[in-house]
Amino acid sequence: MRPRAFLNTLINGMDKLITFLKEVRHELSKVSWPTKSQTVQYTIVVVAISLATAVFLGLLDFMFEWLLNKFII
């Protein structure tokens, strides 16, 4: 590839990158971001559900282990 063609390709790629980043910024300005209190509430809900699921699965695991040891092994 000739040096001039390489330079044109490089400049074209940079123009595309700059255009992409401008479009991303424009689209992100349209996003309805949650407030700080909403973010805290949603985080608490996610953590609570994760802990409840972990406890539930842990109890199932304990129960199945106990059943296997009691009746099969």
DSSP state string for 47-68? HHHHHHHHHHHHHHHHHHHHHI
Q: Are residues 8 and 37 in the same domain?
A: no
Under DSSP, the state recorded for 2 is -
Check residue 55 and give its pLDDT. Answer: 98
CB–CB of 1/10 below 8 Å? Answer: no
Identify whether residues 52 and 67 lie together within a single domain. yes
Q: How many domains does one find in the chain?
A: 2
Instruction: For residue 10, give its domain range.
Output: 1-31
Residues 73 and 41 in one domain: yes
Per-residue pLDDT for the chain (73 aa), expressed as one digit of tens each? 577 888 888 888 899 999 999 999 999 999 999 999 999 999 999 999 999 999 999 999 999 999 999 988 7
Regarding pTM above 0.85, the answer is no
